[in-house]
Structure 1
Amino acid sequence: MTRYLIWGGLGLIAVAAILEAAFSPLLQWRQPVYIAAGFAGIVAMLLVLAQPLLAGGLLPGVRMQAGRRVHRWTGVALLVAVLIHVGGLWVTSPPDMVDALTFTSPTPFSPWGVVAMWALFATAVLALLRDRLSARGWRLGHSALAVAIVTGSVVHALLIEGTMGTLSKVALCAVTVAVLMRVLMRLRVWRLVAR
């Protein structure tokens, strides 16, 4: 029964986020590139939720080892989604993206998204260097960057008044934070800091 509740809840969050955005009146008169960039951002948020679920072995029916393999590929998909999100917004408004990337944008959500993006890029570099790091260094660095990615992404999403609906956005963000905290507690990451 728990298996169905977890998978059903995740499916409901994903469908609600996409459908609420798809029927948003804010999409009227928008360019297709802008709409694609916005939906890439929503997909990225859903993948941010999937990452700790996979890494922490919290998905019923998915073994820990298989979940961690999928976690790696989901990380690549997350990177691609973020690149599409940022690239699409760059195409539609280069000056706004320059302001965002240089932390000079007047919008409060921009710096949070940029911090999350750079933390994601740093995670990709860390993953490429994993064999050169100690197990402790890898877990500590990866966990710290995961916290930065989730925090930046959640605050970025919550501050934007855009196509993503308020209810689905708040639910997605709350579940993402709760799952990350659960995984960090389950993996006892704090013990790495105390050493």
Structure 2
Amino acid sequence: MTLIWAALAAAVGVPIAAAAMSPLLAWRGPVYILAGFAGIVALGLVLVQPLLIGGYLPPLSAYRGRRAHHWIGGALLVAVVVHVVGLWFTSPPDMIDALTFSSPTPFSPFGVIAMWAIFAVALLAALRRRLGLRLRTWRIAHIPLAIVIVIGSVVHCLLIEGTMETVSKAALCAIVLAAALKVMADLWVRRKPRPLAGESSSRQ
């Protein structure tokens, strides 16, 4: 149990520490630095989310894991808002280009798509009870959006050449993808219908 939490802390903490030592920070203002680190924290939270749903973070029970998933989702939303608003204050024209998908930087559209997917999940979660969404319907909507969030966030991060150190950044992105794939595979196996004992014996 301790090893799992230590590995998670290292996967998220090492890239943050490496970015904090980047010489590029000397030419950045405090708002830009805050926005940049909010983006790194957001990627770390994207890693935590599938681990909570998959039950890979003991000693949290399934119920507490789902509750924590909701709260971490809210923290992810806040981190993304801080990231976007901070970048808006530092350079509004660049953010307008990014939000309108007219930015020349290749990483911008992936980040914007992931952002809108996060907003969509947050909105659905807030309105889930009011809309009367059943668990199956919720998963049908949530899982594709989660895939978009993971892929968009990882590609967005990998394409940026900024304060994040290359090796630790790549390692974090790889772990995020691996965690998401692991959870998707486990959920698929759990939901796969098992043949009845009579059916399996009759086929032999």
TM-score when normalising by structure 2: 0.89
Provide, for residues 92-140 of structure 1, a one-character-per-residue CA deviation record: whole Å limited to 9, x for no partner.
0000000000000000000000000000000011112322212211011
Q: CA deviation at 1:189?
A: 8.0
Partner of 1:87: 85
Say if 1:124 and 1:189 are closer, same or farther in 2 by CA, change over 3 A.
farther
Partner of 2:127: 129
Amino acid corresponding to residue 178 of structure 1 in structure 2: A
**Structure 1 runs of 4+ off > 2 angstroms?**
189-192
Q: CA deviation at 1:6?
A: 1.7
Provide, for residues 130-170 of structure 1, a one-character-per-residue CA deviation record: whole Å limited to 9, x for no partner.
22212211011111110000000000000000111111111
Q: CA deviation at 1:191?
A: 5.8
Query: What percent of counterpart residues are identical?
Result: 62
Distance in structure 2 (CA, Å) of the matches to 1:156 and 1:65: 32
Amino acid corresponding to residue 175 of structure 2 in structure 1: V
Distance in structure 1 (CA, Å) of the matches to 2:78 and 2:133: 25
SS at match of 1:88: helix
TM-score when normalising by structure 1: 0.93
Partner of 1:180: 180
Say if 1:26 and 1:190 are closer, same or farther in 2 by CA, change over 3 A.
farther
Distance in structure 2 (CA, Å) of the matches to 1:20 and 1:189: 38
Distance in structure 1 (CA, Å) of the matches to 2:16 and 2:88: 22
Find the partner of 1:77 among 65, 70, 75: 75
Structure showing greater radius of gyration is 2
1:34 aligns with 2:32: yes
Structure 1 unaligned runs (5+)?
none
**Are the equivalent residues in 2 in contact too, given 1:52–1:183 (CA < 8 A)?**
yes
Structure 2 unaligned runs (5+)?
193-204
Partner of 1:161: 161
CA-atom RMSD in angstroms: 1.5
Distance in structure 2 (CA, Å) of the matches to 1:146 and 1:167: 25
Query: How many matched pairs?
Result: 190
Q: CA deviation at 1:7?
A: 1.4
Distance in structure 2 (CA, Å) of the matches to 1:104 and 1:189: 41
